């Protein structure tokens, strides 16, 4: 007669309490499949967040430039370059930088003009638009945001149907 001890649930216990190798391999395979399905969606999400962040940061820079122009009653310029922008104020006939912003290296900035000038009353010399696009080489749709600035200095963010910024 073999004497077996009863486990926690009243079933006989044979002494093993772990997972088998087959069970562990099955879990690894299932997790790998889920990861392979989720990775492209996650990469698209990351691209979209980078472009959205750049467009929103630029919109805040426009609001700052407009606010400084009206507050100081002086000309303010917002200057674009390949890796970001700066807000500069004219003080004693010299330009002083108030804000310098660098965007993520995978975000490309394109605009028809390089310097956006705000007059002392907060208005622009001319309306313009600035586009932000993901410049990474991976396949898939290119994420693009267009920030339009009207003569009053108000901004509107849209997602253009084409890659052109006009």
pLDDT single digits (tens) 118-141:
999 989 988 888 988 887 755 556
Per-residue confidence band for 94, with pLDDT thresholds at 50, 70 and 90: confident
Task: Evaluate whether residue 16 is within a structural domain.
Answer: no
Q: Which CATH number belongs to the domain containing residue 120 in this structure?
A: 3.55.40.10
Give the pLDDT mean for 37-61.
89
Task: Evaluate whether residue 110 is within a structural domain.
Answer: yes
Task: Name the domain count of the chain.
Answer: 1
Range of the domain at 50: 21-158
Whole-number Å distance between alpha carbons of 31 and 97? 51
Task: Evaluate whether residue 68 is within a structural domain.
Answer: yes
Task: Evaluate whether residue 2 is within a structural domain.
Answer: no
Share of the chain above pLDDT 90, in %: 47
Whole-number Å distance between alpha carbons of 129 and 7? 72
Task: Evaluate whether residue 98 is within a structural domain.
Answer: yes
Task: Evaluate whether residue 6 is within a structural domain.
Answer: no
- Long-range (24+ apart) CB contacts under 8 A made by 107-111 are 107/50, 107/51, 107/54, 107/132, 107/133, 107/134, 107/135, 108/132, 108/133, 108/134, 108/135, 109/54, 109/80, 109/81, 109/82, 109/83, 109/84, 109/85, 110/165, 111/80, 111/165
SS3 44: helix
pTM: 0.76
Task: Evaluate whether residue 65 is within a structural domain.
Answer: yes
Task: Evaluate whether residue 8 is within a structural domain.
Answer: no
């Amino acid at each position: 007669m073999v004497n077996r001890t009863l486990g926690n649930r009243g079933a006989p216990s044979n002494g093993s309490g772990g997972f088998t190798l087959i069970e562990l391999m099955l879990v690894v395979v299932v997790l790998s499949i889920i990861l392979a399905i989720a990775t492209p969606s996650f990469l698209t999400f990351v691209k979209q967040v980078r472009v959205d962040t750049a467009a929103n940061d630029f919109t805040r820079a426009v609001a700052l430039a407009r606010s400084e122009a009206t507050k100081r009653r002086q000309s303010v310029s917002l200057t674009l370059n390949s890796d970001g922008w700066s807000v500069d104020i004219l003080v004693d006939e010299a330009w002083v930088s108030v804000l310098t912003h660098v965007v993520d290296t995978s975000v490309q900035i394109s605009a028809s003009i390089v310097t956006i000038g705000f007059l002392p009353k907060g208005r622009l010399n001319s309306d313009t638009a600035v586009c932000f696009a993901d410049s990474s080489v991976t396949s898939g749709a290119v994420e693009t945001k267009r920030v339009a600035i009207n003569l009053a200095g108000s901004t509107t963010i849209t997602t253009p149907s084409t890659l052109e910024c006009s």
